[in-house]
Amino acid sequence: MRHAKSSWGSADLSDHERPLNGQGHKDAEIMAGVCVRSLPAPDLLVVSSARRTRETADYLQKAWKLRDSQVVTEDLLYHAGFAEWCAVCAAYADKGEHVLCCAHQPGLGHFAGSLDANFFHEVTTAAVISFFINEPWPQNGYSLPDAKLAFYGIPREYR
């Protein structure tokens, strides 16, 4: 999932510390509900350390009633590129059958396209992308498993 819309209202805040704006809070709540209705509850929620992703993940945690121990903050997901996405997925692949990451563009969209060459969707703020992966995640660097898009949703489809 991509984090919901963030605020650019304070020049004093670093990019890492930008919070969600009003629309971001609304969209995060909407998409958390969509996730509960459309996806299995994750065994683990892996979240970028940026404030806007942590705030987005709070809505997911609440909607799915996840325990704090099921939510992990991962610094590598902050502005992650392909190598970081591979490392994070390999590190958490054995932590449960369903693992959800909450992170940023453009890395999320590029990685989604690497997983499924047929993925050409817009990755707006609060977009949810789910893949069906029917094999163990490779632990050897940049190899990827066979993946097929299972779900894609964006807030404007549900407002």
Delineate the domains of the chain, giving CATH numbers in brackets.
Answer: 17-157 (3.40.50.1240)
Using DSSP bridges, classify how beta strands 71-74 and 99-102 pair: parallel, antiparallel or unpaired.
unpaired
Tell me the three state secondary structure of residue 35: helix
pLDDT single digits (tens) 22-61? 999 999 999 999 999 999 999 999 999 999 999 999 999 9
Rounded to an integer, the average pLDDT of 3-18 is: 94
Q: What is the pTM of this model?
A: 0.96
Give dist(CA 39, CA 30) in Å, integer: 14
| pLDDT for res 142 | 85
| pLDDT for res 94 | 92
pLDDT(124) > 90: yes
